[in-house]
């Protein structure tokens, strides 16, 4: 909101799925964001505001940090085969699950207590709706909200969420003497996150590829509740927890907790039907619960085969307004993305990938860009005038814009685009993607989209494209046994990614 004073905000786990969106939103609103991650992002223009966890443990947070939010933590649904085959590996993984969340919350709390001239006013830790007991164990199924004062669910997810919240409300303040002294100055809030649905990561990315192939459907019985939230509302609730003038919890609420879930109550079968409808695919094939247990083990399978109906009662009472309250509307919004994990995952089934470049100039203002296309050849895709793609059905082409960085190419080369014959193009040595545009848009509409992008949006586009290209490389490496070079490091440049992909072509 324009009325909110710009703040200095530290975000742990900023490179994660939700973290990327949160950082982008905060920066676009004028806030200074200090990111904390395992490593600095390559090409980050704000290196002075990019910290690693060892640096925070050693040197603390910069003075002047006013708000702190932590989203870091290892995924509870890691499907690595070793976790199913080795008891030792699984125990180590569970230990890392807890350490990656609780240890980092305490690290941020201790660092926050030492911030001068005064500690941050709020510490927000992200838990999950796995805290609530299953709604499938009673008839009629109960609906839980933030007033629930009973014990957490006894599952692994429930125990993990309870430990996270203990670290937010208690362990954080006790992590050091300095933190204990400053506890009264920092308000601690836990956000119980639902299943976040977004275009380029999270649950939707892993769910969507079977649906794109026409083999998707419900998981288990399909009757289990799914407490979902659109990515824009996931970010919105976090910003609400950080920035809004929140009243203290009333006696009817057990603690300072906000549920980040849509107000609608939906089941897994309804989620599958909405996803299938948005992709124009059937949702006929059920994934048996036994298969889920085989993939993730009995202890973690309940995350997918069980669940709770959850209401964001206190979130609504504190005046947060959800943008997406209907599941089908949320899915339609997400399926409109031209460049999303669901399409990339399907396209990677192609027997080979061709990578080539073709000049595209939208207007003189953008004449310094080249556009690279990734052509997945088993789909009916053809190039049309001006370097635009046309695709049949719901398949779209991918346009990855590249910023100018190194040397000029000749006007003759630039003339490959009928719009670029009169203009000089610049090749990119270490390029930064800037936008993804569907070929169905008119050129005037494309120009309008390009001109509306802010610097923060450009950075988010870059991160999204790099994540998708790494995902492609990972899938191809797995198909070929990792013989052609292995995984790419997080700091790999776009040119390195393209070189790696050529090895698999």
pLDDT in tens, 278-327: 888 888 888 888 888 888 888 888 888 899 999 999 999 999 999 999 99
Residue 449: per-residue pLDDT = 57
Rounded Cα distance between 52 and 112, Å, is 15
Q: pLDDT band at 206, cuts 50/70/90?
A: confident
Q: What is the pLDDT of residue 492?
A: 59
- What is the pLDDT confidence band of residue 193, given thresholds at 50, 70 and 90? very high
**pLDDT score at 475:** 55
Mean pLDDT of 64-75: 92
**Three-state DSSP state, 124:** strand
Average pLDDT estimate for 218-228 = 93
> Are the beta carbons of 33 and 11 closer than 8 angstroms?
yes
* Best-predicted range by mean pLDDT (215-219, 352-356, 373-377): 215-219
Contacts 24+ apart (CB under 8 A), 409-415: 413/359, 414/359, 414/361, 415/359
Confidence band of 386 (pLDDT split at 50, 70, 90): very low
What does the block give as tokens for 115?
């911030």
* Residue 487, pLDDT score: 53
Question: In which band, very low, low, confident or very high, does the pLDDT at 176 lie, cut at 50, 70 and 90?
Answer: very low
Amino acid 265: pLDDT? 95
The residue that leads in pLDDT, 421 or 202, is: 202
For position 10, what pLDDT does the model report?
Answer: 95
CB 233 within 8 A of CB 167: no
Q: Looking at 24-38, 213-227, 340-354, which range is the least confident one?
A: 340-354
Residue 216 clears pLDDT 50, i.e. is over it: yes
Q: Count of alpha carbons within 13 Å of 121, Cβ hemisphere only? A: 10
Which of 218-222, 252-256, 332-336 has the largest mean confidence?
218-222
What is the per-residue pLDDT for 470? Answer: 63
pLDDT of residue 438: 42
| pLDDT over 60 (residue 182) | no
Q: What does the pLDDT read at residue 211?
A: 81
* pLDDT score of 124: 96
Residue written as tokens 């080369």?
413
Range of weakest confidence among 112-126, 245-259, 345-359 = 345-359
Give the whole-angstrom CA distance, residue 372 versus residue 449: 18
Does residue 336 carry a pLDDT above 70? Answer: no
Q: What is the pLDDT confidence band of residue 251, given thresholds at 50, 70 and 90?
A: confident
Given a cut of 50, whether residue 403 has pLDDT beyond it is no
- Per-residue pLDDT tens digits for 436-493: 444 444 445 545 655 666 667 656 655 665 665 666 556 555 555 554 444 555 555 5
State the pLDDT at residue 355.
Answer: 32
Domains, the chain, in order of start with CATH, read 8-195+229-262+305-324 (3.40.50.720), 344-504 (no CATH)
Q: How many CB atoms lie within 10 A of CB 505?
A: 10
| Long-range CB contact pairs, 479-482, < 8 A, 24+ | 480/504
For residue 156, pLDDT beyond 80: yes
Q: Is the pLDDT of residue 337 over 70?
A: no
Most confident segment among 300-314, 341-355, 370-384, 403-417: 300-314
Instruction: Please state the rounded mean pLDDT for residues 405-421.
Output: 30
Average pLDDT over residues 21-49: 80
Considering only residues 406 and 92, tell me which one the structure prediction assigns the higher pLDDT: 92
The DSSP-derived string for 42-111 is TT-TTGGGEEEHHHHHHH-SPTT--EEEE-----TT---THHHH-HHHHHHHHHHHHIIIIIHHHHHHHH
Residue 39 has pLDDT above 60, yes or no: yes
Region of poorest pLDDT, from 27-31, 121-125, 298-302: 298-302
The whole-number pLDDT of residue 400 equals 32
Other C-beta atoms closer than 10 Å to the C-beta of 203 total 18
For the entire predicted model, the pTM comes to 0.67
pLDDT at residue 372, as a whole number = 34
Question: Is 132 a residue whose pLDDT tops 50?
Answer: yes
Inter-CA distances, 368 with 62, 363, 403, Å: 37, 10, 7
Q: What is the pLDDT of residue 502?
A: 52
Q: Is residue 87 over pLDDT 60? A: yes
Q: What is the pLDDT of residue 479?
A: 52
Please state the rounded mean pLDDT for residues 129-150: 92
- Give residue 6's pLDDT: 85
State the average pLDDT for the chain: 71
Instruction: Output 220 or 503, whichever has higher pLDDT.
Output: 220
């Amino acid at each position: 909101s324009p009325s909110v004073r710009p703040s200095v905000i530290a975000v742990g786990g900023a490179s994660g799925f939700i973290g990327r969106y949160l950082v982008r939103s905060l920066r676009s609103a004028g806030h200074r964001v200090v990111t904390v991650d395992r490593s600095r992002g390559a090409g980050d223009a704000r290196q002075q505001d990019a910290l690693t966890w060892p640096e925070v443990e050693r040197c603390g947070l910069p003075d002047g940090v006013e708000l702190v939010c932590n989203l870091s933590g290892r995924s509870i649904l890691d499907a690595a085969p070793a976790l199913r085959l080795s008891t030792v590996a699984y125990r180590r993984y569970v230990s890392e699950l807890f350490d990656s969340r609780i240890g980092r919350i305490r690290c941020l709390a201790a660092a926050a207590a030492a911030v001068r001239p005064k500690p941050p006013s709020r510490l927000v830790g992200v838990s999950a709706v796995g805290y609530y007991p299953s709604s499938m164990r009673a008839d009629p199924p109960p609906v839980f909200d933030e007033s629930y004062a009973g014990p957490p669910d006894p599952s692994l997810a429930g125990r993990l969420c309870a430990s996270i919240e203990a670290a937010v409300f208690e362990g954080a303040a006790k992590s050091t003497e300095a933190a204990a002294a400053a506890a009264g100055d920092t308000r601690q809030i836990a956000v119980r996150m639902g299943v976040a649905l977004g275009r380029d990561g999270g649950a939707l990315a892993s769910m969507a590829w079977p649906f794109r192939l026409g083999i998707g459907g419900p998981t288990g019985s399909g009757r289990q509740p799914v407490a979902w939230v659109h990515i824009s509302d996931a970010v919105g609730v976090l910003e609400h927890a950080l920035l809004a003038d929140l009243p203290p919890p009333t006696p009817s609420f057990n603690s300072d907790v906000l549920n980040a879930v849509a107000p609608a109550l939906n089941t897994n079968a309804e989620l599958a039907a909405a996803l299938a409808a948005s992709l124009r695919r059937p949702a006929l094939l059920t994934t048996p619960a036994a298969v889920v247990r085989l993939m993730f083990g009995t202890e973690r399978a309940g995350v997918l085969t069980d669940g709770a109906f959850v209401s964001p009662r206190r979130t609504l009472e504190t005046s947060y307004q959800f943008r997406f309250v209907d599941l089908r509307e949320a899915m339609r919004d997400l399926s409109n993305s031209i460049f999303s994990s669901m399409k990339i995952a399907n396209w990677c089934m192609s027997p080979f990938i061709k990578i080539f470049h073709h000049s595209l100039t939208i207007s003189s203002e953008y004449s310094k860009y080249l556009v690279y296309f990734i052509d997945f050849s088993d789909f009916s895709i053809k190039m049309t005038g001006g370097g635009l793609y046309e695709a049949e059905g719901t398949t779209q082409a991918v346009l990855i814009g590249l910023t100018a960085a190194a040397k000029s190419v000749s006007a003759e080369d630039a003339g490959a685009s009928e719009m670029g014959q009169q203009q000089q193009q610049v090749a990119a040595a270490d390029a930064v993607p800037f936008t993804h545009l569907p070929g169905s848009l008119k050129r005037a509409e494309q120009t309008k989209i390009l001109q509306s992008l802010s610097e923060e949006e450009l950075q988010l586009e870059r991160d999204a494209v790099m994540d998708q290209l790494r995902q492609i490389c990972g899938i191809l490496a797995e198909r070929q046994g990792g013989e052609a070079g292995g995984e790419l490091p997080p700091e790999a440049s776009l040119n390195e990614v393209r070189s790696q992909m050529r090895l698999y072509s």
